[in-house]
Chain A
Amino acid sequence: MSDLTSRVLGPIDLDGGPGGGAMECDVPFGSRLVPTRLEIDYPGRLNERMIEDLDIVLEHLDIPDRLAREAIARDVLRDGTAPHRLFTSWAGRTAVGTEDVASFVAALRPTHMLITPDGGRVNRDRVVLRYGLDGARDEVTVRLPSSPTGPEVDRTLRRAG
Chain B
Amino acid sequence: MADYGDLTTIIGQMNRAAIDCWMADQDFFPTWGYEETYTKWHFAPYQYFRPAADGSGGGDGVGYDVSCADAFDGIRSSIDSIVSKWHGLPDGAGARAYADAGRITASLLGSNGAGSSVQNSGSISTSSGTIQDVVVGNMEGAFRRPFLSKYFTAFSSVQNGLGQAAVILAANYAAQQAMWGAVKADVATICDNARLAWEKQAAEESAANTTFQLQVVGAVVTAVAAVVTAPAGLTGAVAGLSATSAGISMALSEVARDGIDIGGESYEDILASLSDALDKLNATITTQEEILNDAMQEAIAAMTSDAQSYNLDAFQLGEYPLGDGSMRMDVTDAGIVSDNMRLVHEELAEAASAIGTGPASSPTPRSAGIGVAPTGTHATASQLHGLTSKYLQDTRDEYERGHRLFDATVADFFATDAAARQTVQQLLADEALTGQS
Interface, chain A (partner B; CB < 8 A): 53, 56-57, 60, 63-64, 67, 117, 121, 124, 126-127, 144-148, 150-151
Contacts and interface: CB of A to CB of B under 8 A. Distances in A.
Nearest to B206: A121
A156 B223 CA distance: 66
Contact of A148 (B44, B46, B203): B203
B203 A53 contact: no
Interface residues of B, number: 15
Interface of B: 27, 29-30, 32-33, 40-46, 203-204, 206
A120 B427 CA distance: 91
A53 B27 contact: yes
B431 to A, nearest CB: 84
Listed from nearest, the 10 A-B pairs whose CB atoms lie closest are A146-B41, A57-B44, A126-B41, A60-B45, A150-B32, A121-B204, A144-B43, A56-B45, A67-B43, A53-B40
B44 A147 contact: no
B42 A148 contact: yes
A26 B207 CA distance: 40
A121 B27 CA distance: 11
> Which one of A60, A145, A148 has the greatest number of beta carbons of chain B within 10 Å?
A148
Given A53-B27, A53-B40, A57-B40, A146 B45 contact: no
Nearest to A124: B204
A63 B44 CA distance: 7
A70 B45 CA distance: 17
Nearest to A53: B40
B43 A63 contact: yes
B46 A146 contact: no
Nearest to B35: A148
Contacts of B29: 146, 148
A146 B33 CA distance: 14
28 contacts: A53-B40, A53-B44, A56-B44, A57-B41, A57-B45, A60-B44, A63-B43, A63-B44, A63-B45, A64-B44, A67-B32, A67-B43, A117-B27, A124-B204, A126-B41, A127-B41, A127-B44, A144-B43, A146-B42, A146-B204, A148-B29, A148-B30, A148-B32, A148-B42, A148-B203, A150-B33, A151-B32, A151-B43
Nearest to A62: B45
A53 B40 CA distance: 8
A65 to B, nearest CB: 11
